[in-house]
């Protein structure tokens, strides 16, 4: 007999119209409701929650302390132990200015998704990289948008604008003194002119892995030209376990037979097309039972 669960999805109090943002959690929620589970969406920590499991769903690299404290009240919390997934915490490829490394490097934000969601929640003034050709989505307030060619000020970048330098010595000195930025080894998976990114998506004991191809070195949803299902490397599963994650997505590449994780995401976005998102939600939704 199937046990019907009470599932609470906890959002940041500043989240605007979250159901319209295309997150994968809403596809999962639809499947759970169809299966007879109750799904409640709660904003902020001032509201009472009565649930069998709480899923924090704040599109923030670092979960705010008041939310971490609030979640201590509940016995079953998804991703309880993964409150900080910044690159300085998860990356094994960070470089300092004086390191002995002569390969190409890439400058990124320490925070996920170019820093935008975290900065928006915090109310910090946004300084875009001057390389950005487009504005961020409307949820970034217009009166806080600035542009800077000064690497000391930049705290927000479009991921497509992450900059690759031929060597560490070519990186401007100001990048290393900017706490919002990091420098990593640039280690693409590249074959016959195509760059590949692998994604490992999971909920509880259900998971899948796909290899995405693009002619662009920064592989993103909007520039993908190929997709194939591939086996899940045990190395990547081990990274997930080390982070105590129940739900999310890890972005990685394979280099010389070794998996290299670049990004950890607790709030995966939409899958395209909608039929695939539905199929993947049906695949992962049963994983919630493994939490009990």
Q: What is the mean pLDDT of residues 108-115?
A: 90
Q: Above 90 in pLDDT, residue 120?
A: no
Crossing angle of helices 24-34 and 274-284, in 10° steps, is: 60
Whether the model clears a pTM of 0.85, i.e. scores above it, the answer is yes
Tell me the residue range of the domain where 14 lies: 6-71
206 shares its domain with 271: yes
Determine, yes or no, domain membership for 78: no
Q: What is the mean pLDDT of residues 175-203?
A: 96
Cα 189 to Cα 43, 182, 252: the distances in Å are 39, 20, 9
108 shares its domain with 181: yes
193 shares its domain with 274: yes
Q: How many domains does the chain have?
A: 3
149 CB contacts (<8 Å, ≥6 apart)? 130
Summarize pLDDT for 276-290 with one digit per residue, the tens.
999 999 999 999 999
Determine, yes or no, domain membership for 85: no
56 shares its domain with 132: no
155 CB contacts (<8 Å, ≥6 apart)? 109, 115, 119, 124, 126, 127, 178, 180
Instruction: Determine if the peptide bond prior to 57 is cis (ω within 30°).
Output: no
Determine, yes or no, domain membership for 84: no
Mean pLDDT (the chain, rounded): 89
pLDDT in the model for residue 218: 86
pLDDT in the model for residue 1: 55
Cα gap 270→206, rounded to integer Å: 18
Q: Above 70 in pLDDT, residue 243?
A: yes
Determine, yes or no, domain membership for 22: yes
Determine, yes or no, domain membership for 174: yes
């Amino acid at each position: 007999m199937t046990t019907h669960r009470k599932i609470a999805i906890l959002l940041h109090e500043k989240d605007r119209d979250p159901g319209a943002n295309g997150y994968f959690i809403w596809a999962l929620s639809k499947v759970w409701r169809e299966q007879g589970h109750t799904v409640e969406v709660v904003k902020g920590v001032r509201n009472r929650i009565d649930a069998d499991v709480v899923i924090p769903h704040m599109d923030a690299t670092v979960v705010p302390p008041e939310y971490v404290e609030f979640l201590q009240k509940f016995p079953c919390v998804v991703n309880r132990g993964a409150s900080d997934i910044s690159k300085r915490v998860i990356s094994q490829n960070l470089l300092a200015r004086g390191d002995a490394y002569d390969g190409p490097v890439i400058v990124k934000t320490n925070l996920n998704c170019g820093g935008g969601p975290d900065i928006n929640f915090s109310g910090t003034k946004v300084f875009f990289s001057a390389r950005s050709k487009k504005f961020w989505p409307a949820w970034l307030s217009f009166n806080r948008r600035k542009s800077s060619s000064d690497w000391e000020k930049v705290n927000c970048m479009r991921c497509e604008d992450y900059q690759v330098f031929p060597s560490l010595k070519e990186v401007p000195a100001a990048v290393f003194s900017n706490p919002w930025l990091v420098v990593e080894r640039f280690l693409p998976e590249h074959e016959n002119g195509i760059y590949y990114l692998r994604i490992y998506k999971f909920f509880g004991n259900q998971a899948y892995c796909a290899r995405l191809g693009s002619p662009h070195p920064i592989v993103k949803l909007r520039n993908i030209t190929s997709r194939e299902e591939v086996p899940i490397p045990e190395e990547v599963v081990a990274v997930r376990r080390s982070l105590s994650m129940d739900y999310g997505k890890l972005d990685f590449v394979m280099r010389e037979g070794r998996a290299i994780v670049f990004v950890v995401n607790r709030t995966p976005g939409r899958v395209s097309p909608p039929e695939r998102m539905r199929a993947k939600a049906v695949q992962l939704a049963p994983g919630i039972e493994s939490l009990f």
